[in-house]
Structure 1
Amino acid sequence: MSEQQAEQPAEQLATPPVDPMKGFRGVMSAMFVIEAIVVLLALLVVDKDDSITAAQGWFTGAVALALVLGCGLVKRGWITWWVAAVHVALLASFVFLPSLGAVGVVFACAWGWMFWAREDVRKRMAEGRLSSQREQDPSSD
């Protein structure tokens, strides 16, 4: 152990507290990737049943690209609006691509649950009720 580490109190050598929101950002990024894959796979289903137009193909590609770009934006405060805008576009696609609209409904429900869970964790963090915020009892080791 170096001299600098020996001089530091044990409190400073302890691991930093866990940030639960970091875990949510990872889950949100994974959700974006999974949704982009499902959107692109829905394009294959549409192409098998009906022939798709170039506009439908470009629209689906643009939505998939917006979903992938969302992975890099999960730290931003306005990510909720990004998710809402993408899903409004997906739900509007019911008019010309019903299978893509159905994907939008399923994932809109999943995102709604995820945002509800995030707010619940934020509320618990503010109240100090998370297990990571409780002090460990030294006798429990």
Structure 2
Amino acid sequence: MSQPKDPMKGFRGVQAGTLVLEAIVVGLALPVVAQLGDGLSSVQGWTVGGIAVGLLVCCGLLRFPWSIWVILALNAAMLAFVVSLPWVTVIGVVFLAVWGWLMWLRRDVARRMAEGRLPSQQQPG
């Protein structure tokens, strides 16, 4: 008999896709930093670039339970730009809302999994 499917594996795929999209959006903020900020070679430029790279690295760390805290810390770092780069803060706020929604979905899937109500847990017949 085959092993039942792990619903959290599919959910990690959704999280990885969200991280890639977020990294792209943050990367697209680099030209804005170059034009309206202090430039790409400044602390602002390096920090925004580092956040984008950090988000991509987190794609490989999703199997660890602490990875969500790293992701939330990277989003909080974007909030720290509220005075110097408000447009980066807007990106942080939007993606914090997305991650909040994803964590709510994760909790719901875990609850349904514990109750045995997921479609993959139902017996055919």
Q: Work out the percentage of aligned pairs sharing the same amino acid.
A: 48
> Out of 16, 23, 29, which is 1:42 matched to?
29
Shift of 1:16: 2.2
The gaps in structure 1 that reach 5 residues or longer are 1-11
* Counterpart residue number, 2:3: 16
Aligned-residue RMSD, C-alpha: 1.2
Q: Provide the TM-score with structure 2 as the length reference.
A: 0.92
- 2:38 and 2:102 mapped to 1: Cα distance? 32
* 1:123 and 2:106 correspond: no
The structure whose Rg is larger is 1
Cα deviation 1:12-32 (Å, max 9, x = unaligned): 3xx321111001111111111
Q: Runs (4+) of structure 1 moved beyond 2 Å?
A: 45-48
TM superposition score normalised by structure 1 = 0.82
**2:34·2:45 contact (CA, 8 Å) conserved in 1?**
no
State the partner residue of 1:73: 61
Measure, in 2, the Cα distance between the counterparts of 1:120 and 1:45.
Answer: 38
Give 3-state SS (helix, strand or coil) of 1:65's partner: helix
Question: Does residue 120 of structure 2 align to residue 132 of structure 1?
Answer: yes
Q: Hey, which of these two has a bigger chunk of helix by percent? A: 1
